[in-house]
Each structure stands twice: as structure tokens, then as C-alpha cells.
Amino acid sequence: MAPPQLTLDVLCVGAGFAGIFELYHLRSLGYSVKVFEAAEDIGGVWWHNCYPGARVDSIVPVYEFSDEKVWAEWSWSEKYPDWKELRRYFQHVDEKLDIRKDIVFNRRVTSAKWYADEDKWLVTSQDGSVVSARFFILCVGNNSKIYIPDIPGLDRFRGSCHHTARWPQAGLDLQNKRVAVIGTGASGVQVVQDVGPRAAQLTVYQRTPNIAFPMRQKSIDEETSKKMKVEVYNMVYRRRRQTLGGHAYDLYPKNSCDATAEERLLFYEDMWNTIGGIQLVAASYKDIRLNQKANDELYHFWRSKVLERVRSPRLQETLAPQVPPHPVGAKRPSLEVSYFETFNLPNVDLVDLTQNPIVGVTSNGILTNDGREREFDVIVLATGFDAMSGGITQIDIEGTDGISIFDKWTKSVRTYLGMMTANFPNMFFIYGPGAPTALSNGPTCIEVQGEWINTCIKNMMDKGFTRIEPLPEAEEEWQKSIFESMSGGLYDAPTSVFLGRNIPGKVSEPQIYVGGIPKYTEMCWKKIHNGYEGFSRTALK
């Protein structure tokens, strides 16, 4: 390996919310910090996901940094901003925090090796550069490794074919085009409702029906924005740390069985009509993810609403089947505005892959099991991500025992507190496996974890420790906490991302801690207060 061209206190990988948070705060503590980012600009997922209709499913001001320096002079135009506005927001973040000067763009980190003589990581990038850093923080997000199913002939297609998270930065004209969308997760839903009305033909290939809730989008005018800053913002940033999902709301403190059928109906009607959003699960009766009967009732309430919006009986049953595809909330709920009505358009059709799977892609289109070949100009792969661990394991990181992170986590994704893993000293990760991650609001989880990591690093530096790593037994204990957090819960979806089941061959086990932000935060800080319980900390002789 070439000698390092740069020596740092901290190297972060990724310039989304997490990398920016770490860079700004660690730099403020006086450490030398750099961020390496594979993309050509900041924003993380909001740089990569510029597909038609891409927007958040968390509301603002919950989905943003809590730092007043940033929010004081920033106003959103919508409750759920789209990717363009989020990109402008990140430019504003840069203006306020001056982060860009310490980010190296177009630099993909490819491998890392622990150098025990100096207690440092040697990190190599695609361009061949090598840097050494005492601390190595993976801010690669849970959605940075895309997943493309192994569809025979995909490379033969002569039209345009793009994964939603690798959408051309210059955009793609879909007006009057024949478009196929494979996948109906959150991104698929957004593409369908955006593209359906303007495509010549849109065919949607669905594996699992999406129990999508109404977004109830609202615009925010300047006056409302000013008022919210005075009356709401500070409260929201404190409140979001007290809620299970890191949002501004929490489960309703009553079990569904303690309400009458009439009360429940009005509760759901009210929520459906006025609030919408993931609140239908996240602010629902507190047993909604625990009680099958309560969950089924919510499903059938949702189904009745969808049936009112879809005209064709065939499509009604495919989009909202009588038998729930999985419990409501077993997957992160998606939000929609006009998804279901889109299927009433004469140019839009749906192929149910459970009845009629894709056989292959031809040079002109997609061939299904029924022998029909549909021709397309564009294929959109809304096929999701190797979430949580994939962004980390795609970097060839070698542990102190010579085993790579990929090999270690192929057996089982073990972490301690969802921030470190045994045999990888001084290596932290944020918004990855073993933490609240995908079941929580991104910026909340990132700030909670970032603060913990920064405190840990400062304590190490102040006390002269040069190496910290979790003990294997602590990792086992954390794995139990993760399983416990899911036990009794309705998380059993056949293609669940939370269980790693959307990726063939990935071990099916809980990928995240679902016990909620407050309990997670408390457990993490307790380890520090107990003298870094479960960790070994040493200093170079």
C-alpha cells in the first residue's frame, strides 16, 4: 500500500445529513476532519434520488438539522419538500456551516485497513489515494447500495433503463414515452403518480401491494413559516427525541381494544382526512404493531378507502387485496397523493408479478410468463436498496482478525449499539444496521448517534486513548436487545427491508433496533456513564 498522502484525526465517508453533522461538530472541537464523498455534491440521498416525483415522507421541520444557525434563515415551501428543494436546503446548510471546503467530492472510498502500529485506519479510494485517520466514520447512509434484481437480459434493452437512485442528473424526458416501472415501494409509488399522467403508456410491475397512506401535502407560506419558527421549531427538536420514531408525534396512549368500534372508526377517519402521513401508524393506537386484530382493522379501513378510488375490480384486488400482504407498518409506510387514481387512467396498467412474473428483458421491452412482450422506451428500476449494511459492506474493510466486514456480516450483522462492531476499532457508523435507522426520522437518529460518537471521540482524545472497540460479548448482548425490541411485534413481511428479506441471500434477521429513539438514546448514554461499558479502550505504548 502506498504511504498516506494525508493524516487526519477523523475521516468521514459520505456527505449527507450524517457526514455534514460529523464534519461540522468534530471540526468545531478542533480536530482535523475530512469527508470523502463519491458524488459530485452534498445532500446524500437527495443528490442521488432525483427521479420524477422524489420527495420526503417525513414532514418539515422534523426532517432537517435542529441547529438554529441553519433553520433560522431557511423557509420551506411545502410540508413534504421534493428533492429540488432539499438540494437547495443543503446549499443553504453549506452557506451557514461552511462545510464544502473540507469535503472531497468524486472520491469513492474502496478499502480500509487497520494499522496497529499507530492505531490508525489506512483508507484507500478509487482514485488510488491513501489517507490515514485515527477515527473512521461511515456516514454512508442506509440507502447508498442500490439493489437491481437479477433479471435475465436487462443489459440487452435498447431503450433507457435507470434505477431510481441512479437517475440521470440532467433528467430524462418521459413525456409521451412508453414507460415501465418495476417495483412499487416508496420510490415506485412516487414515480407512478408523477409519470402516469404524462407518459404515452405506463406499465407498473408489482410484487407487493403498497399500503400507502395519503400524504395530505400542504404548502407553507412565508408568514406561516415565520410563525412556526417562533412557536414550534424549538419544541419540535426537543420533542422528536422523546418519540419512538423521532418525529413530532407518538403513538396514541390507548390500546385499540379499549376504544369502541365507533371511536376507532372516527379516529381513523379523522386521521385519514386531516393529517394523513405515516401518523396513521406512528400516531395510531399504541398496540397497532402488537395486536393482529387491531392491525387488520386498520388494513381494512385503508382498503375501503383505496377501493373507493380505483375503478377496475381487477386492479382493486391487486392494489388492495382482501388478504393483507403483510401487517400494516411491517414495512416503512409510503405516502401518496394520486397513486391509486393513476390506475384509472387509460394509459396505465398493472402487472401482478405474483401471478405473472417477468421472464426477461428483451431489446425492446419486458417479457412476462404469460408470453406477452410489452415494448418500452424507458424502464425504471424502483427496486430499492441493500439497506442498512449494504453501504458499509461494499467497502472492503479488513478487521483486526483479517476478516472483512462483508464476511463478518454475511453470517449475521452484529453491532454494538448500532454504531460499532467488534474487531473494527475506532470505526463508527451512523444510520446503519443495529440502530433505529429506517424506522426513525433520519436527522433525529443521526443527531442522536452523532452526538454520542463525538463525545466518545472527545473523551478518547482528552484522556489519551488511541483505540476503542466493542467487546464480542457486548455485541451479543446488543443483538439480544435488538431481537427483544422486535419480539411480539408485527414485523413479519415476506420482503421486509427491516429483516433483510428484500435481498436474495441476505441473512433474514432484524436489521434495526425498533425500541424507539428515547430508549435507544438512554441505553447508549448509559454505556458512557458506566465508564464505556462493553468497550475496551487502550493507549499506544
Ligand X SMILES: Cc1cc2nc3c(=O)[nH]c(=O)nc-3n(C[C@H](O)[C@H](O)[C@H](O)COP(=O)(O)OP(=O)(O)OC[C@H]3O[C@@H](n4cnc5c(N)ncnc54)[C@H](O)[C@@H]3O)c2cc1C
CB of 539 to ligand X, least distance (A): 30
Q: Is 58 in the site for ligand X (CB under 6 A)?
A: yes
Per-position x/- string for 98-137, each x denoting binding to ligand X as judged by CB under 6 A, each - no binding: ----------xx----------------------------
Applying CB under 6 A, which of residues 18, 181, 328, 497 lies at the interface with ligand X? 18
| Nearer to ligand X (CB atom), residue 302 or residue 431 | 431
Rounded to whole angstroms, how far apart are CA atoms 377 and 364?
Answer: 8
Q: Is 45 in the site for ligand X (CB under 6 A)?
A: yes
CB of 373 to ligand X, least distance (A): 30
Within 13 A of 89's CA, how many CA atoms are on the CB side?
27
Element (H, E) at 282: helix 279-282
Q: Is 19 in the site for ligand X (CB under 6 A)?
A: yes
Rounded to whole angstroms, how far apart are CA atoms 236 and 66?
Answer: 9
Q: Which of residues 315-334 bind ligand X (CB under 6 A)?
A: none
Position 427: which residue type? Answer: M
| Nearer to ligand X (CB atom), residue 45 or residue 381 | 45
Q: Is 485 in the site for ligand X (CB under 6 A)?
A: no
Q: Is 210 in the site for ligand X (CB under 6 A)?
A: no
Rounded to whole angstroms, how far apart are CA atoms 41 and 232?
Answer: 31
Q: Which stretch binds ligand X (CB under 6 A): 13-21, 219-227, 250-258, 338-346?
A: 13-21
Give the total residue count for the chain.
Answer: 541
Q: Is 510 in the site for ligand X (CB under 6 A)?
A: no
Angstrom CA distances, 244 to 126, 139, 249, 334, 445, stand at: 39, 22, 9, 18, 11
Applying CB under 6 A, which of residues 8, 11, 24, 44 lies at the interface with ligand X? 44
Rounded to whole angstroms, how far apart are CA atoms 409 and 507?
Answer: 9
Please report which residue ranges of 149-232 form alpha helices under DSSP H: 186-195, 222-231
Q: Which three cell numbers stand for residue 126?
A: 478509487
Q: Is 142 in the site for ligand X (CB under 6 A)?
A: yes
Position 37: which residue type? Answer: E
Applying CB under 6 A, which of residues 8, 12, 70, 139 lies at the interface with ligand X? 139
Please report which residue ranges of 5-155 form alpha helices under DSSP H: 17-28, 45-48, 68-71, 83-97
Q: Is 439 in the site for ligand X (CB under 6 A)?
A: no
CB of 232 to ligand X, least distance (A): 19
Rounded to whole angstroms, how far apart are CA atoms 416 and 28?
Answer: 27
Q: Is 245 in the site for ligand X (CB under 6 A)?
A: no
Asked if residue 138 lies in contact with residue 432, where contact means CB atoms within 8 angstroms, the answer is yes
| Nearer to ligand X (CB atom), residue 32 or residue 394 | 394
Rounded to whole angstroms, how far apart are CA atoms 50 and 44?
Answer: 11
| Nearer to ligand X (CB atom), residue 343 or residue 431 | 431
Nearest Cα residue to 429 out of 481, 393, 480, 385: 393
Q: Which stretch binds ligand X (CB under 6 A): 42-50, 216-224, 416-424, 517-525?
A: 42-50
Q: Is 384 in the site for ligand X (CB under 6 A)?
A: no
Residues that bind ligand X (CB under 6 A): 13-19, 36-39, 44-45, 47, 49, 54, 56-58, 63, 108-109, 139-144, 165, 187, 391, 395, 430-431, 441-442, 446
